[in-house]
Amino acid sequence: MSKPDRRHVLVTGASSGIGEALARDYARAGHRVTVVARRLDLLEALAAGFPGTMQPLRADLSEPSNAEEVVTRAAATFGPVDVLLNNAGAQIVGAFEGVAPEDGEMTLRLNLLTPLRLIHAVLPAMRARGAGAIVNIASVAGLVPTPGMAHYCASKAGLAFASESLRSELRGSGIVVVTVYPGPVETAMMRAAVDKLKSETTLADRMPAGDVDTLSALVRAAVTRRQARVIYPKVYGATRWFGPMAAAITGRFTPVPTT
């Protein structure tokens, strides 16, 4: 790894929400940060606050074959990636029959296949250096199957399992893999889900929710401490230890959206 105080951190989905908070947090701590998303104007506005240490890259990550080029372009300016934060994602909330197959498959490519391609792209150089960190932002929805989110749950369960598997595989390599399981965290994505479910249940707005800055601090600390996983807000940690019970309750009581 480059000097521990000045790593090259690549954050996908940094134009808003959790990714933006992670990018700010790492940049404030003095690291060089590459921020990736489609909305270049938002990335440029963010990078303007960190001249010389944050570079914006526009890329559509719903196409996994773009991953290699993203890493090559990022490394051309800041050198090999030390910390990969696989954060970009999209969520569909709705009845399965109402989801166009193409949209469902896009979710799987963006949330699962592209993160794996990005790992393929950064891993050889990390192996060569015997150091690096890979952070995968999965979801509590990857632990607890939730009605109305079949594609999202499949993508996040896939990413979480791949991430946990890779952590074990890379034991002793010097490369740390951290799997992050956010429950509801106040962002545009969470708001859209709550608004969609509001008409079906009054509980949608009452679930304990976290904030992006606290989550970002927890993720950064987990990388430093080489922690296996982060589950936030903490109350959702129960879903990991009481999985079948959480799945049964969620499956029974989450309303199925009608559209």
Ligand X SMILES: NC(=O)c1ccc[n+]([C@@H]2O[C@H](COP(=O)([O-])OP(=O)(O)OC[C@H]3O[C@@H](n4cnc5c(N)ncnc54)[C@H](OP(=O)(O)O)[C@@H]3O)[C@@H](O)[C@H]2O)c1
Catalytic residue among 26, 152, 181, 232: 152
Query: In this structure, are residues 239 and 44 in contact, taking their beta carbons and an 8 Å threshold?
Result: no
Rounded Cα distance, 91 and 232, in Å: 18
- Binding pattern to ligand X, positions 135-164, x when CB under 6 A? --x-x-------------------------
CA distance 211 to 213: 6
Residue with tokens 């951290």: 178
**132 contacts ligand X (rule: CB under 6 A):** no
Pick from 10, 22, 110, 175 the residue near ligand X by CB under 6 A.
110
Q: Which of 7, 9, 11, 17 binds ligand X (CB under 6 A)?
A: 17
Residue type, 32: R
Should residue 83 be labelled a site residue for ligand X when binding is judged by CB under 6 A? no
Tell me, rounded to whole angstroms, the distance of Cα 214 from its chain centroid: 15
**Residue number with CB closer to ligand X (1 or 104):** 104
Instruction: Verify whether residue 181 is a known catalytic residue.
Output: no
Query: Which two tokens mark 246?
Result: 């959480």
Shortest CA distance to 23 belongs to which of 71, 1, 56?
56
For position 179 contacting ligand X by CB under 6 A, the verdict is no
- DSSP element (H, E) containing 19: helix 17-28
Asked if 90 touches ligand X (CB under 6 A), the answer is yes
Size of the site for ligand X (CB under 6 A): 28
Write the binding mask 36 to 55 for ligand X: x where contact by CB under 6 A, - elsewhere. -xxx----------------
- Cα dihedral 250, 235, 159, 11, rounded to 10, equals 140
Residues within the interface to ligand X (CB under 6 A): 13-19, 37-39, 60-62, 87-91, 110, 137, 139, 182, 184-185, 187-190
